[in-house]
């Protein structure tokens, strides 16, 4: 048994070295394509390669790290003895509070990216009971990036899912609260997914890493649709991965969550369906 533990520890060490090396090297691979590149139109190749690298990191490094965390024993002094409900609930509240601080104090509740501006503009039309804003005159003096006029309707270029959530926030006078709340909900969903796949200890660690991520905090302090698409994808995964034996209604719930994610960011909704499809086929 001691020999087996020693082998496991050595394997764990090299797996972590490999994961760390992948996290350092893979994101830097597109740099060679950027150097000396001329303007030849849309950079689809770079976008696809960057998206593929992200998938590799999440799918392989994440799976290895999760499996490793559930199999390799920690030293007794490092064993987690936190009750899951207050621990995860506290992390969710902390993330929401941090995102609210960044949104209200650092960003003054203002959108900063053209994506945010366009979706907030369209959300105001929704909140006013319109599907689109009236066309301004003269149009060329008012049009902004990521919006367009089609058949006499002035809209953003984005699918309506996230815009509807922002419109609900506008109707309640708290559009600045939408993404911070979604970030907090994501903490709970991350825990549910990781616990279903790897156990409660990994679930708490995953929730902590989510809540402590600067990327998650600052994205949750914005108005962009990435947060709602991610949370809806996590809801679909949690519906299937969390139960030991998912029933039919779990898959129905997952399907609804994936459809909602597709109404926010269609490609993200399709990508989120792939792990569920593979998991279902391999069961």
Which pLDDT tens digit goes with each residue over 47-74? 666 667 667 666 666 666 666 665 554 4
Reported as a single tens digit per residue, the pLDDT across 179-206 is 999 999 999 999 999 999 888 888 998 9
Distant-in-sequence, close-in-space partners of 182: CB < 8 Å, separation ≥ 6? 165, 220, 227, 228, 231
Q: Measure Cα distances from 152 to 142, 155, 161, 274 in Å.
A: 14, 10, 22, 38
108: alpha, beta or left, given left = phi > 0 and alpha = psi -120 to 50? left
pLDDT, one tens digit per residue, over 156-168 is: 999 999 999 999 9
Q: Is 13 exposed, middle or buried (0-12, 13-18, 19+ CB in 10 A)?
A: exposed
Q: What is the pLDDT of residue 3?
A: 47
Query: What are the distances in angstroms from CA 225 to CA 82, 186, 230, 281?
Result: 33, 14, 9, 30
Determine the pLDDT at residue 152: 82
Rounded to 5 degrees, φ, ψ at 154 are: -100, 115
- Quick check: 272 and 258 in contact, CB under 8 A? yes
HSE-CB for 278 with a 13 A CA cutoff: 7
Residue 150 β-bridge partners: 153
- Given this model, what pLDDT does residue 67 score? 64
pLDDT value at residue 77: 47
Which sign, positive or negative, has the C-alpha torsion 176, 179, 182, 184?
A: negative
Higher-pLDDT residue of 29, 255: 255
Per-residue CA distances from 210 to 114, 135, 168 (Å): 26, 42, 26
Q: Is the pLDDT of residue 215 over 70?
A: yes
What are the tens digits of pLDDT across the range 220-278? 999 999 999 999 999 999 999 999 889 999 999 999 999 999 999 998 999 899 989 88
N-to-C CA span, the chain: 31
Secondary structure of residue 206 in the 3-state scheme = helix
């Amino acid at each position: 048994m001691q020999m087996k533990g020693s082998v496991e520890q050595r394997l764990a060490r090299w797996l972590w070295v490999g994961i760390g090396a992948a996290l350092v090297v893979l994101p830097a691979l597109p740099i060679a394509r950027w150097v000396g590149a001329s303007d030849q139109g849309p950079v689809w190749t770079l976008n696809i390669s960057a998206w593929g690298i992200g998938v590799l990191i999440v799918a392989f490094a994440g799976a290895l790290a999760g499996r490793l965390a559930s199999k390799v024993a920690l030293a007794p002094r490092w064993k987690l003895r936190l009750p899951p409900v207050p621990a995860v609930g506290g992390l969710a509240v902390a993330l929401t509070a941090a995102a609210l601080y960044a949104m209200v104090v650092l960003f003054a509740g203002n959108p900063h990216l053209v994506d945010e501006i366009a979706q907030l503009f369209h959300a105001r039309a929704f909140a006013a009971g319109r599907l689109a804003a009236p066309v301004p005159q003269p149009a060329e003096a008012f049009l902004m990036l990521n919006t367009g006029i089609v058949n006499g309707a002035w809209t953003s270029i984005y699918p309506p899912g996230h815009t509807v959530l922002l419109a609900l926030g506008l109707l309640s006078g708290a559009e600045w609260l939408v993404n911070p709340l979604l970030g907090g909900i994501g903490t709970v969903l991350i825990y549910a997914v990781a616990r279903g796949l790897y156990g409660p200890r990994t679930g708490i660690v995953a929730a902590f890493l989510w809540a402590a991520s600067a990327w998650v905090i600052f994205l949750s302090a914005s108005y962009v649709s990435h947060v709602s698409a991610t949370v809806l994808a996590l809801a679909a995964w949690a519906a299937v991965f969390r139960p030991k034996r998912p029933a039919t209604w779990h898959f129905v719930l997952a399907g609804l969550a994936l459809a909602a994610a597709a109404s926010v960011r269609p490609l993200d909704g399709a990508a989120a369906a792939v792990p569920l499809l593979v998991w279902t086929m391999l069961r």
